[in-house]
Structure 1
Amino acid sequence: MATTSNISKRRKSALEEGSADYLAKRAELVEIAGRQFKVHGFKATTLAEIGHKAGLDRATVYYYFGSKEELFRECLRVGVEANIAACEAIFADKTLEPAQKLRSVITQLMSAYDQYYPHMYVYIQEEMSRITSEKSAWAQRIVTKTRTFERIVLSLISELISSGEMRSDIAVSVAANAVFGMLNWTHRWYQPGGAHSAPEISDAFCEIFFSGMQKR
């Protein structure tokens, strides 16, 4: 117990000090953890495996992160927060028409999946339901950010249907779920540097969606 407490104090002190070496090793652990979570899943991945790939024993990993859950949270935090902030800025941009905003939001999420690969996909892949059911402040904050993205897409589609720019015979919720489905399912097949780039994929998704929702 005393050893655990001592490591916790050292970790807190190192974080406050924020040396370049310490932060670099934390970033390395986050990157390794993201890859391990993506391949093996959160439950099957161990801190010992993550530490081994970083050249650290399990005990030393605790100097950087207090638990596997803390590592997972850090994997998600940066990507989710950056993506939502970008989507909110697009939504608030008065120089863009609703259709331009929706295209930009779709492009932004696909770009985030690429930039923060594979961390955001871990959330989509298997942990979304677990986080949604959690009552912790962190989990609720992530859920709130996810709901913000969903509300933005729903609002833009609703506006486009109301203005007559999109067909009205398809429910807003169904159309929005088509967008979410296309984007989120990429966790099963997309990899940065693969046959199709993130911009190419988002352009194709926009073409499919906007053509399908075109008023007839």
Structure 2
Amino acid sequence: MQAGSPRWRRRSQARPGEIVQAALDVFAEKGFAAAKLDEIASKAGVSKGALYLYFETKEDIFRAVVREAVVPNIDMVEAMLAQATIPFPDLLRLALARIEAVVETSRLGAVAKLVIGESRNFPELARVWHDEVVSRMLAAMSGALERAQMRGEVRLGDPRLQAFSIVGPILLGVIWQETFTPVGAPPAPLQSLIRQHGETMIAGLAPRAGVSS
């Protein structure tokens, strides 16, 4: 087959995505430190030399994993929280339903576990996860809470701390599933956890009767 043929070009263009998917699988199975570039290349069906055409370091591959596997979902939730004009309780239910779908259908938990477990030795992992995922999610949720406070739908308080209260238990559930369930702990039913937590937060954030918000 000629190198300039359409099929060859499609294969070449597909390689970064294949490498990222292979890296996600290897990182989830082995962790970051133990993951070998040779293994990622082999799983992606490329040579190690071809891998270096797209990524200079393993940290670059991890950054691509986050941007390909996680960030598009953050974009969607961020846009939902920024643009919606519905009451905050309904907005929170929609946002949590989206987060629930992401948690159930992606390797988000494996990536989060990797960051928590290995960021001490590889601080760049924490930096990428913070900048690309955590800070954006907290900012989007904080903005929605601040606007809801201005409309009188949510009790007054530090919206960033309120956002931490919403996101924190979900992260705990994800980490529980990845860390403790495999060693025999009772599973955390994430769907039920997220939905019950959402209703608890809606009730807890509601303005108190007789108190001006």
- Given the two structures, how large is their TM-score scaled by the length of structure 2? 0.66
SS in 2 for 1:87: helix
Indicate the larger mover: 148-157 or 106-115. 106-115
- Give the alignment of 1:196-215 within 5 angstroms: 200-215=192-207
Q: Which runs of 5+ in 2 are unaligned?
A: 179-186, 209-213
Equivalent residue, structure 2, for 1:180: 167
Percent of pairs with identical residues: 21
| From 111, 135, 139, the counterpart of 2:101 | 111
Give the alignment's Cα RMSD to 1 decimal.
Answer: 3.9
In the aligned structure 1, how far is the partner of 2:27 from the partner of 2:199? 32
Please give the per-residue CA displacement for 1:166-215, whole angstroms capped at 9, x wherever unaligned: 445x6544332121212222432447xxx888655532331232233344
- Given the two structures, how large is their TM-score scaled by the length of structure 1? 0.65
Verify the 8 A CA contact 1:79 1:120 in the aligned structure 2: no
Equivalent residue, structure 2, for 1:6: none
In the aligned structure 1, how far is the partner of 2:8 from the partner of 2:105? 24
Indicate the larger mover: 56-65 or 93-102. 56-65
Q: Which runs of 5+ in 1 are unaligned?
A: 1-13
Q: Which amino acid aligns with 1:121?
A: A
Verify the 8 A CA contact 2:19 2:41 in the aligned structure 1: yes
Measured after TM superposition, the shift of residue 152 of structure 1 is 2.0
Verify the 8 A CA contact 1:38 1:121 in the aligned structure 2: no
| From 44, 64, 67, the counterpart of 2:57 | 67
Equivalent residue, structure 2, for 1:121: 112
The 1:155/1:43 distance shift into structure 2, 3 A limit, reads same
Kindly indicate whether residue 27 of structure 2 is the aligned counterpart of residue 40 of structure 1. Answer: no
In the aligned structure 1, how far is the partner of 2:192 from the partner of 2:10? 36
Task: State how many pairs are aligned.
Answer: 194
